[in-house]
Amino acid sequence: MQSFLLLTLLLLSIGGYYMGRKRAFAVAGGHIRNLHSLPSFYGSYTALWCGLPALIVFALWATLQPSVIIDLVVAGMPPELRNLPPDRLNLIVNDLKNLVGGNIVSSTPDPAMLEAANHYRNLRVIGNASLWVVVMTLAIGGIAHAWRTISPTLRARNRVEKIVNLFLIFSSTVAIFTTLGIVLSVVFESILFFRQVPITEFLFGLHWSPQTALRADQVGSSGAFGAVPLFAGTLLISGIAMLVAVPIGLMSALYLSEYATPKFRAVAKPALEILAGIPTVVYGFFAALTVAPLIRELGAALGLHVASESALAAGLVMGIMIIPFVSSLSDDVINAVPQAMRDGSYALGATKSETITRVLLPAALPGIVGSILLAVSRAIGETMIVVMAAGLSANLTANPLAAVTTVTVQIVTLLTGDQEFDSPKTLAAFALGLVLFVVTLILNIIALRVVRKYREQYE
């Protein structure tokens, strides 16, 4: 229905384009040199007049119509329904929507509800019909307006370009709005959370068990929102990941840039980068079903007790995932070190490895540190591997064989499934999100700054 309206609008706009062009030819007496702009600009001018106002009205209408209709229906309900408390009213409205949608409602609907449903349907039909009328009037009126205003002196190009420019500027602000949206949504919910749980308890508390906070009359109903075990678990798993990724990634980068023949490099570099393209859910599956049982059996053979959701398994696999980040970022940095420095070192009689460890690495160190910081921020924010392979219980331990949980795992578990939006349980997820956002942001800013500063040095 609405997509059909959009399609009609699109067709009308295309029609408008050709009409505008034809009109421009007509007013110019067939000679385009009499026109201010090229005929196609007159066409676009007409199409924009046809499509743009109609589209704006359509978008506003489509977003506002449902809530307006609900308000009208509720206002038309018998008073005993209308005066119910808001949460009950919400339930009734939901029932109503199901009734209108033709879904099965739990109980047999009473006459008041049926009447309301009819009211709803009628309003919707009226709403949709008037939407059609308004949009079509605007579209055709737009064409008519453009038709009348087209004259050889009309500065169509400037007007069309102004609109396009506005669109470009609007597009470029989307990034700002996204950041703003992230910050606002996380900060607002976090403030709500910190009203219920003091921020010091959240940041420095040693006990995390959000599940107890579900019902007010339970024992320990205050819940425990000390996030230190989560931070510790995140650091432990990321630490293991970095222990895997940094040596392997760095050595691969060094080998590929200093030792490998161009042929080997051409094959090995993209092959290694495949690791970066594999979806994280695949790593999670690999960690949970292959690596974790392997480590457990290995531990059992050595007489060690290994939890089936050990930090080691998640960390190892996360490390594998991060190898290409470290290697390709350090590869860039190493290649940016001027050849003259290598040549100088060779001229003094240094071997290749001496050149690398005493000249290349110190010169490239800031860049390598930057790339490692980026990799750390990646590890901290990684979700699927830990959700699938790490545990849920918040243990404060440094033992890599034990199960730990991370910030991202807790965000996912707190926010999937049923939720009410004012319980500290769901709000805690946003507070964790805020911490995650701030920490990764700081890491990224430092890393980017370090890398940029270093690049300027050699360019």
Partner 1 sequence: MNKPTASPPTKIPSRDIKTIVNAGLARRHAAERRFRWYGLIAITLGLTFVVLMFANIIGKGYPAFWQTYIQVPVTFDAAVIDPQGNRDPQAIETADYAALVRAGMRQLFPNVQGRLELRALYGLVSSDAAHELQDRVLQNPALIGASQEVWLLASASVDTLVKGNIDRALDESERPIKDNQLEWVDKLQAAGKIEKQFNTILFTSGDSREPEQAGIRGALMGSFFTLLVTFLLSFPIGVATAVYLEEFAPKNRWTDLIEVNINNLAAVPSIVFGLLGLAVFINFFGLPRSAPLVGGLVLSLMTLPVIIIAGRAALTSVPPSIREAALGMGASKLQMVGHHVLPLAMPGMLTGSIIGMARALGESAPLLMIGMVAFIVDVPKGFMDPSTVLPVQIYLWSDLPERAFVERTSAAIMVLLAFMILMNGLAILLRKRFERRW
Q: At closest approach, how far in Å is the CB of 174 from partner 1?
A: 6
Q: Report the amino acid identity of residue 140.
A: I
Q: Report the amino acid identity of residue 238.
A: S
Q: At closest approach, how far in Å is the CB of 355 from partner 1?
A: 10
Q: Which two tokens stand for residue 178?
A: 């996204």
Closest listed residue to residue 46, CA positions, set 128, 170, 149, 189: 149
By beta-carbon proximity to partner 1, the closer residue of 147 and 255 is: 255
Beta-bridged to residue 224, according to DSSP, are 209
Q: At closest approach, how far in Å is the CB of 425 from partner 1?
A: 14
By beta-carbon proximity to partner 1, the closer residue of 72 and 251 is: 251
How far is CA 240 from each of CA 243, 308, 417, 424, rounded to the nearest angstrom?
A: 5, 17, 31, 32
* Helix, strand, coil abundance in the chain, percent, nearest 5: 80, 0, 20
Is residue 224 within a helix (H) or strand (E), and if so which, with residue range? strand 224-225
Instruction: Decide if 16 contacts 143 (C-beta within 8 A).
Output: yes
Under DSSP, the state recorded for 138 is: H
By beta-carbon proximity to partner 1, the closer residue of 126 and 278 is: 278
Q: At closest approach, how far in Å is the CB of 287 from partner 1?
A: 10
Q: At closest approach, how far in Å is the CB of 220 from partner 1?
A: 27
By beta-carbon proximity to partner 1, the closer residue of 307 and 376 is: 376
Tally of residues, the chain: 459
Q: How far apart are CA 145 and CA 24, in angstroms?
A: 14
Q: At closest approach, how far in Å is the CB of 217 from partner 1?
A: 27
The SS3 call for residue 12 is: helix
By beta-carbon proximity to partner 1, the closer residue of 274 and 340 is: 274
Instruction: Decide if 414 contacts 400 (C-beta within 8 A).
Output: no
Q: At closest approach, how far in Å is the CB of 322 from partner 1?
A: 11
Q: At closest approach, how far in Å is the CB of 299 from partner 1?
A: 20
Q: Is 221 exposed, middle or buried (0-12, 13-18, 19+ CB in 10 A)?
A: exposed
By beta-carbon proximity to partner 1, the closer residue of 280 and 393 is: 280
By beta-carbon proximity to partner 1, the closer residue of 133 and 166 is: 166
Q: At closest approach, how far in Å is the CB of 388 from partner 1?
A: 6
Instruction: Decide if 383 contacts 280 (C-beta within 8 A).
Output: yes
By beta-carbon proximity to partner 1, the closer residue of 26 and 164 is: 164
By beta-carbon proximity to partner 1, the closer residue of 143 and 326 is: 326
Q: At closest approach, how far in Å is the CB of 20 from partner 1?
A: 18
The SS3 call for residue 33 is: helix
By beta-carbon proximity to partner 1, the closer residue of 278 and 398 is: 278
Q: How far apart are CA 195 and CA 173, in angstroms?
A: 33
Is residue 81 within a helix (H) or strand (E), and if so which, with residue range? helix 79-82
Q: Which residues contact 104 (CB under 8 A, 6 or more apart)?
A: 98
Q: How far apart are CA 298 and CA 417, in angstroms?
A: 35
